[in-house]
């Protein structure tokens, strides 16, 4: 009887020892294995400068499936950006593209790298820019319709940012847009320099008090530019690149039409 109990104790001891050995082997096997999310964080941090320098990339993080499993690297891009210019893989991970306008607050809180956002306004304050834009949309020269279901949008850039008093000299980009098969389409547009005037003594913006002046078309355009705009603004007009305004109005139009 004593011998049987002794054998049982030995077997139990061997069993416990075996479990400890197995547990030890499992623990040792885990050493050196980096968790997937940690790998992604490291890849994004190492490639942050390159990734955020790509035109249209806003931020990046970990892409997850509905069951919260990791799907790859999430790259958040502006609505008008062509994602074909961005690598489809980083290291061993697939890149999942997401439009920034469709990102949830939950996703925003978990972004790992983000492009520094600075004010894009070239005016003394955003209220001036908004007031001028609202005014332009009341004027038939800048706002029109060729079809009933279209919407008009305008964006502007200050051609002389050092001056914060009216008259202001701006480049105006306006357009008539629709959504066609879920994609933005511009039906007609206008891109022109303009002089915007307003009584400086008023502390609020009354749209009916604004006025504008633009160069005439054709052969009179050059003459009008010299008449309407000061010399430093004329130089800006001569080499003005409207690419940023085009991107801006497309982004605003797409966002506005989706509301």
Q: Which residue is listed with tokens 């009008």?
A: 224
Query: How does residue 184 score in pLDDT terms, banded at 50, 70 and 90?
Result: very high
Which residues have a Cβ under 8 Å from the Cβ of 214 and sit 6 or more positions away? 141, 172, 192, 193, 194, 195, 224, 228
Tell me the pLDDT tens digit for each residue of 29-52: 444 578 898 999 888 888 888 888
The pLDDT assigned to 135 comes to 97
Mean pLDDT of 61-89: 82
Sign of CA dihedral 184, 188, 191, 194: negative
The pLDDT assigned to 26 comes to 45
Could you tell me the domains of the chain?
36-114 (3.30.300), 126-258 (no CATH)
Q: Is the pTM of this model over 0.85?
A: no
Say whether 177 sits in a helix, a strand or coil. strand
Asked if residues 57 and 48 have their Cβ atoms less than 8 Å apart, the reply is: no
The pLDDT assigned to 139 comes to 97
The pLDDT assigned to 107 comes to 78
Q: Which residue is listed with tokens 């490291």?
A: 42
């Amino acid at each position: 009887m004593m011998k049987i109990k002794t054998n049982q104790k030995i077997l139990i001891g061997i069993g416990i020892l075996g479990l400890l050995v197995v547990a030890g082997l499992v623990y040792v096997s885990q050493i050196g294995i980096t968790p997937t999310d940690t790998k992604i964080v490291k890849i994004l941090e190492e490639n942050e400068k390159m990734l955020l320098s790509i035109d249209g990339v806003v931020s990046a993080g970990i892409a997850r499936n509905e069951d919260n499993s990791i799907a790859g690297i999430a790259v958040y891009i502006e609505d008008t950006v062509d994602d074909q210019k961005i690598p489809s893989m980083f290291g061993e991970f697939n890149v999942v593209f997401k439009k920034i306008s469709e990102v949830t607050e939950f996703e925003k809180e978990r972004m790992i790298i983000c492009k520094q956002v600075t004010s894009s306004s070239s005016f003394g304050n955003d209220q001036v820019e908004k007031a001028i834009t609202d005014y332009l949309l009341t004027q038939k020269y800048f706002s029109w319709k060729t079809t009933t279901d279209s919407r008009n949008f305008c964006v502007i850039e200050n051609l002389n940012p050092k001056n914060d008093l009216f008259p202001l000299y701006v480049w105006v980009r306006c357009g008539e847009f629709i959504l066609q098969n879920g994609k933005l389409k511009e039906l007609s547009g206008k891109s022109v320099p303009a002089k915007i005037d307003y009584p400086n003594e008023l502390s609020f913006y009354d749209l009916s008090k604004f006025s504008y002046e633009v160069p005439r078309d054709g052969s009179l355009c050059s003459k009008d530019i010299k008449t309407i705009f000061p010399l430093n603004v004329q130089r800006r007009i001569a080499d003005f690149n409207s690419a940023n305004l085009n991107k801006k109005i497309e982004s605003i139009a797409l966002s506005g039409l989706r509301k």
